[in-house]
Each structure stands twice: as C-alpha cells, then as structure tokens.
Amino acid sequence: MGSLKQTVAALGTALVGLAGCGGEPGPEPNPLGPEPPEEADPAVVWQYLQEKDYQRYWHPESLASPGLHRSREPHGPLIRVYLNRQGHNSRPLGQEPLPPGTVVVLESYTSEPTLHTIDVMAKIPGHRPATNDWAFFRYGPSGTVRQTDHQIRLQAKTENRGCIHCHARTAEETDYLFQPRLAD
Ligand code: HEC
C-alpha cells in the first residue's frame, strides 16, 4: 500500500517529466511535511529541507533560468537556487519584503558539476529585525554545518565580511535578495 506521501511523490515525478517536455515551470512545492522553521537552529533548518524534499518539489528562484547556471563569486561557479511555497507565492520577488517562512536554498557546484556547498536564507518571524528576520546558514553537501547563523552574525560584526555583510547591500531595495536574480 503506497502512502499518501509516496503517491504525491510519484505525481511530482510525473509532473517533472511533463515540465521537462513542455518547458513549463516545475511542480508545485511539496504540500506535505513540516511548517517552515521557527528557530535559527541549523539542524532544524536542515531537517526541514530534507522533509520537504526541496530538490524535487520547490520552484526555481528564477523562472527565467531555472536550471544550473553560472554565478558570480562567492557562490558557484555553477549554482541552482530553490524557493519554498511561501516565497514562490510572493512573486515578483523583491518588490515587497518576503513573507515570514520564506526559505531560499542556493546550491553551489564545481564546473564538473559536483555539489560542494548549500547556502540557505530562512525568514524566521521575530528572529532579528536588523536582517529583516533572515537567518543565514552554510552546509556541506550532506548536511554538515559549516557556518551557523550565530557565526555569520559575528563575522559580519567583527570582520566585516560574510553573508550578512554582503547581502546587506541589497537589504533596502530587495530584502537581502540579489539583483541579478530578480528579473522575473
Ligand atoms: C561577497 C558577496 C556575497 C557573500 C559573502 C554571500 N553571498 Fe549569497 N549571493 C551573492 C550574490 C551576488 C548572489 C546572486 C548570485 C547569482 O544569482 O548569480 C547571491 C545569492 C544568494 C542566495 C540566493 C538568493 C538571492 O539573493 O538571489 C542565497 C540563498 C545566498 N546567496 C545565501 C548566502 C549565504 C548563506 C552566504 C554565507 C554563507 C552568502 N550568501 C554569502 C553574494 C554574496
């Protein structure tokens, strides 16, 4: 007996196939699974990504270039970016602050391409007004925590570098999202 989750997963696969043929946007984000993280705990955030099966169900951040494509440093050289349902429903991105619960995942690949880093921005209600409630995380490909939100905050404060320091350039205009990806 297949569970509902398996049935939905199978349906998702079928839709991916169709989308591949017609050039249509990807499947609907997985409606099952947990709610977005409510704390800036890297283990909780990673668990959420796994249970939501983001690689299968989430929409590409950019509908214009949904697949693997080149990026500027420090990400890349090849990247693939995914957006959960909360973020997807608030398109066009960056015109208004993104809603609580939005999660964006940026996978960086070598030119092979081999996945080497997973960067995550998660909007957690009440987390931190100074970053519009965004929390930042860096993981290895199998979920090893490379940088916690706490470490990234310290890095911005004491060394003037890292995720927050750089993404803050776009804080006012596009809620910490980078301009090159906001074309759609
Ligand atoms: C020196 C600047 C810089 C640093 C440091 C940096 N980023 Fe980025 N980030 C960018 C740029 C530029 C893009 C857009 C890349 C593209 O689309 O080609 C981006 C894109 C992203 C995206 C996709 C959403 C968006 O903004 O379009 C996420 C998620 C992300 N970065 C997370 C992180 C995390 C987490 C860290 C730290 C571990 C980090 N970034 C460090 C410059 C930076």
Residue 4 alpha carbon to ligand 1 centre in Å:
36
Does 16 score more than 90 pLDDT? Answer: no
Q: Cα(143)–Cα(157) distance, rounded to whole angstroms?
A: 26
What number is the average pLDDT over the span 158-168? 96
Residue 2 alpha carbon to ligand 1 centre in Å:
39
Q: Give Cα separations from 150 to 117, 128, 136, 137, 139 (angstroms).
A: 18, 11, 9, 9, 14
**Mutation probe of ligand 1 site: the residue of 163, 165, 174 with most atoms within 8 A of C-beta:** 163
pLDDT on residue 13: 41
Q: Cα(89)–Cα(46) distance, rounded to whole angstroms?
A: 22
- Asked if residues 122 and 45 have their Cβ atoms less than 8 Å apart, the reply is yes
User: CB count, 10 Å around CB of 9?
Assistant: 17
pLDDT on residue 94: 85
* Residue with tokens 């398996």, as numbered in its chain: 6
* 145 closest CA partner among 158, 135, 157, 134: 135
pLDDT on residue 119: 98
- Asked if residues 156 and 63 have their Cβ atoms less than 8 Å apart, the reply is no
* 82 closest CA partner among 118, 46, 111: 118
pLDDT on residue 27: 60
What number is the average pLDDT over the span 25-37? 74
- Asked if residues 63 and 25 have their Cβ atoms less than 8 Å apart, the reply is yes
* 81 closest CA partner among 98, 97, 62: 62
Give the pLDDT confidence of 70-95 residue by residue, as tens digits: 988 899 999 999 999 999 999 888 88
* Residue with tokens 């349902």, as numbered in its chain: 85
- Ligand 1 close to Cβ of residue 49 (< 6 A): no
- Would you call 164 exposed, middle or buried from its count of C-beta atoms within 10 A (0-12, 13-18, 19+)? buried
pLDDT on residue 4: 43
Exposure string for 42-70, b = 16+ CB within 10 A, e = fewer: beebbebbeebbbebbbbbbbbebbeeee
- Asked if residues 38 and 124 have their Cβ atoms less than 8 Å apart, the reply is yes
Does 18 score more than 90 pLDDT? Answer: no
What number is the average pLDDT over the span 2-7? 43
Q: How far apart are the first and last CA of the chain?
A: 41
* Protein residue closest via CA to atom 1 of ligand 1: 166
To the nearest whole percent, how much of the chain has pLDDT over 90? Answer: 68
pLDDT band at 106, cuts 50/70/90? very high
Give the pLDDT confidence of 117-137 residue by residue, as tens digits: 999 999 999 999 999 999 999
